[in-house]
Amino acid sequence: MTAATPVTTTPPLTPDKPTAASVAKKRLSSPWASLAAIVLAVLWTIPTFGLLVSSFRPERAIKTTGWWTFFSDPTVTMDNYKAVFGEDGGVNLASYFVNSLMICIPAVLIPMALATLAAYAFAWINFPGRNVLFIVVFALQIVPLQVTLIPLLEIFVNIDLTGTFWTLWISHSTFALPLAIYLLHNFMREIPSGLIEAARIDGAGHVSIFFKVMLPLLTPALAAFGIFQFLWVWNDLLVALVFAGGGDEVAPITLQLANLSGTRGTAWQLLSAGAFVSIVVPVVVFLLLQRYFVRGLLAGSVKG
Amino acid sequence: MFNTASTTPEKILQMLAALLLFAAVLGIILFIAAKFGGRRGDKVVAWLYLLPTVLLLAVGLIYPGLRTIYESFFDAAGKNFIGLDNYGTIFTDKDQLTVLRNTVIWVVLVPFVATAIGLVYAILVDKSRFESFAKALIFLPMSISFVAAGVIWKFMYEYRPDQGNVKQIGLINQIIVWLGGKPQQLLIESPLNTFLLIVVMIWIQAGFAMTILSAAIKAIPDDIIEAARLDGVNAWSMFRKITLPSVQPTVVVVLTTIGIATLKVFDIVRTMTGGQFKTSVVANEFYSQTFRADNQGLGAALAVLLFILVIPIVAYNIRTLRRSEAS
């Protein structure tokens, strides 16, 4: 996690004025540039595509022939997807899928709400110790999760929370706070102070300013952080392994997929379908909300 | 409400209960804060707003962090103080040295290759007709989990023995066979396997580099480009003298961000090899030592090492930012 990333703004596209890159590209004799781009795009897509095709092939076909032979001998089946969702195969992805959703919703909403409050205090309220505290929160972004896991696990054992969603909700929320506060604080500082001053003169307190002035303006920043955090929590393996490793009742889908890969590493009919079931939600979220996601990336880089 | 929920309705109920409880806490905070109007109440309102955050960070990040540093000076069972012995082990034990060597290879290769590919691709597709689609293709791996990425690539590297009618099902080995070579157990042969795992991380991070750099390229002022074009600057010097210097601060940020993400890489190694066959890295070794080998002390020391390794990268990053802001 980088502590600070400059906010790179994307200017509106001006089609008639060439950018340095486009000039460079044109001079590079366009066909070669296009060819290179296509080669890269194909290279990047093939691995996913191969597994996707395989997930629809019969088990025997997956295990005896390459997925590329599908095009000369296309047989399509949904059996693999039935198998990963079925109770008897022992994979039972449906229940892990539910777990992932149960983990994600509070783990996105809680830090979002807490960070908005905290960022508001840092951005718009004067209080002693503000700068020191903000620097501490800012610096906490660089703490790797690994450093915190074992003592946190001990705390959860002591208060008897192990094996519940609470461990994941609390830990994911905590880990998200420094980045969320940093992002939202930056965004809030850009709101003209005149707006807040005017509201104060009208006699509005911090609570009503927060709800009536700030929150409506914050929607894009909240969306960016929300998507970010959702993808992070949905895709997480480490935190889930440590806090939910023992119990199937709370383990997310990534954990089951990782276990499957470890214990039944050659069951490609299950692994391929399972991988796509786990991918589908983040990919849909990403495709629908790409704009916000990219904005979030540009504003704050990645956490981890 | 604080027990393990086992059926789906129970899970949903527990989640709703948790959200309600959380909303109630927020409600109380806002209710009290609303009582303090005017400038004099500012201090109280600020601390009320910060209270949950400060509590969570203190208990969930600061205390555990300090505790881990403390525990890194104790033995495997966490009973006896052994000073810096765990750190000594990391830098002398043969297996641990392999872990360090692998981590260095990862951290050197992934950021540079991913950033280079991202930059080239961003330039190639800039202003093209299919720009957003072309970008989405490269960027998509960013949205899927490292675990799923691991499964996808394990399938690419899959090996079938070289005998009789057995056909390869992994694309890489098939290509080796098409080229007249013998299929290899790709993920078992060290040090080749480490490089093959690194490919997966590059595959994921190139999209991140491309997105950020593409925004930086589009932000280069038009008049500079126009002037260079009128001077008849060729493509290569346009890239070297204009594009590269303009995006250089962004390149540093991208490099360091990917570097930090790479330091912490765990899921890929665990999913694809489990850290066997000499592929382990610090973040994975932390997990293996703590949970598999039951060596709490060494695990803690590895986590602290990870922390220490991140600091110079971040410090460098902040310094570069300061300098670019100053100029």
Task: Provide the CATH number for the domain around residue B160.
Answer: 1.10.3720.10
**Confidence (pTM):** 0.90
What is the model's pLDDT at position A5? 41
CB contact under 8 A, A66 and B174: yes
In this structure, the answer to whether residues B110 and B65 fall within a common structural domain is: no
In this structure, the answer to whether residues B210 and B319 fall within a common structural domain is: yes
pLDDT at A200 over 70: yes
Check CB contact of A51 with chain B, cutoff 8 Å. Answer: yes
Residue A25 binned pLDDT confidence (cut-offs 50, 70, 90) = low
What confidence tens digit (pLDDT) does each residue in A60-81 have? 999 889 999 998 888 899 999 9
In this structure, the answer to whether residues B18 and B113 fall within a common structural domain is: no
Is the CA virtual torsion B92, B97, B100, B104 positive or negative?
positive
Please report whether residue B78 resides in a domain: no
Range of the domain at B48: 8-71
In this structure, the answer to whether residues B34 and B161 fall within a common structural domain is: no
In this structure, the answer to whether residues B219 and B316 fall within a common structural domain is: yes
Please report whether residue B2 resides in a domain: no
Determine the 3-state secondary structure of A16 from DSSP.
Answer: coil
Eight-state DSSP code of residue A192: -
pLDDT at A3 over 50: no
In this structure, the answer to whether residues B36 and B184 fall within a common structural domain is: no
What is the model's pLDDT at position A302? 38
- Per-residue pLDDT of chain B in tens (327 residues, 90 and over written 9): 788 888 888 999 999 999 999 999 999 999 998 888 666 788 888 999 999 999 999 999 999 999 999 999 999 988 899 999 999 999 999 999 999 999 999 999 999 999 999 999 999 888 788 888 899 899 899 889 999 999 999 999 999 988 878 889 999 999 999 999 999 999 999 889 999 999 999 999 999 999 889 988 988 888 888 888 888 888 788 888 888 888 888 898 899 889 999 999 999 999 999 999 999 999 999 999 999 899 999 999 999 999 999 988 888 877 776 776 666
Residue that is last in its domain, among B71, B94, B114:
B71
What is the model's pLDDT at position A22? 63
Please report whether residue B192 resides in a domain: yes
Check CB contact of B292 with chain A, cutoff 8 Å. Answer: no
In this structure, the answer to whether residues B230 and B164 fall within a common structural domain is: yes
Residue that is last in its domain, among B45, B71, B97:
B71
User: Nearest CA to CA, how far is B166 from chain A (Å)?
Assistant: 7
In this structure, the answer to whether residues B98 and B58 fall within a common structural domain is: no
Phi and psi angles of residue B221, each rounded to the nearest 5 degrees, phi first: -60, 140
What is the model's pLDDT at position B2? 80
Cβ atoms A80, A269 nearer than 8 A: yes
In this structure, the answer to whether residues B144 and B269 fall within a common structural domain is: yes
Check CB contact of B286 with chain A, cutoff 8 Å. Answer: yes
What is the model's pLDDT at position B250? 87
In this structure, the answer to whether residues B321 and B273 fall within a common structural domain is: yes
Check CB contact of B74 with chain A, cutoff 8 Å. Answer: no
User: Nearest CA to CA, how far is A32 from chain B (Å)?
Assistant: 10
Domain count, chain B: 2
Please report whether residue B36 resides in a domain: yes
Check CB contact of A247 with chain B, cutoff 8 Å. Answer: yes
By Cβ distance, the residue of B19, B49, B287 closest to A118 is: B49
Please report whether residue B132 resides in a domain: yes
Residue A11 binned pLDDT confidence (cut-offs 50, 70, 90) = very low
Interchain CB contacts (distance < 8 Å): A and B: 414
Kindly list the residues from chain B whose CB atom is less than 8 angstroms away from the CB atom of residue A26. 235
Please report whether residue B3 resides in a domain: no
Give the ipTM of the model, two decimals please.
0.90
Rounded Cα–Cα distance for residues A266 and A271 (Å): 8
In this structure, the answer to whether residues B178 and B52 fall within a common structural domain is: no
Kindly list the residues from chain A whose CB atom is less than 8 angstroms away from the CB atom of residue B238. 20, 23-24, 27
What is the model's pLDDT at position A28? 52
Rounded Cα–Cα distance for residues A73 and A59 (Å): 14
User: Nearest CA to CA, how far is B105 from chain A (Å)?
Assistant: 19
User: Nearest CA to CA, how far is A181 from chain B (Å)?
Assistant: 9
Cβ atoms A130, B42 nearer than 8 A: no
What is the model's pLDDT at position B224? 85
In this structure, the answer to whether residues B63 and B114 fall within a common structural domain is: no
Q: How far lies B252's CA from each of A179, A231, A245, A248, in Å? A: 20, 25, 37, 42
Q: How many helices (H) and strands (E) does chain A have?
A: 15, 0
In chain B, which residue's Cα lies nearest the Cα of A176?
B57
CB contact under 8 A, B271 and A283: no
What is the model's pLDDT at position B327? 60
Residue that is last in its domain, among B24, B40, B71:
B71
Cβ atoms B296, B74 nearer than 8 A: yes
Residue A108 binned pLDDT confidence (cut-offs 50, 70, 90) = very high
Eight-state DSSP code of residue B74: B
| Domains, in order of start, for chain A | 20-81 (no CATH), 93-300 (1.10.3720.10)
What is the model's pLDDT at position B100? 96
Q: Kindly report the number of other CB atoms within 10 A of residue A233's CB atom.
A: 26
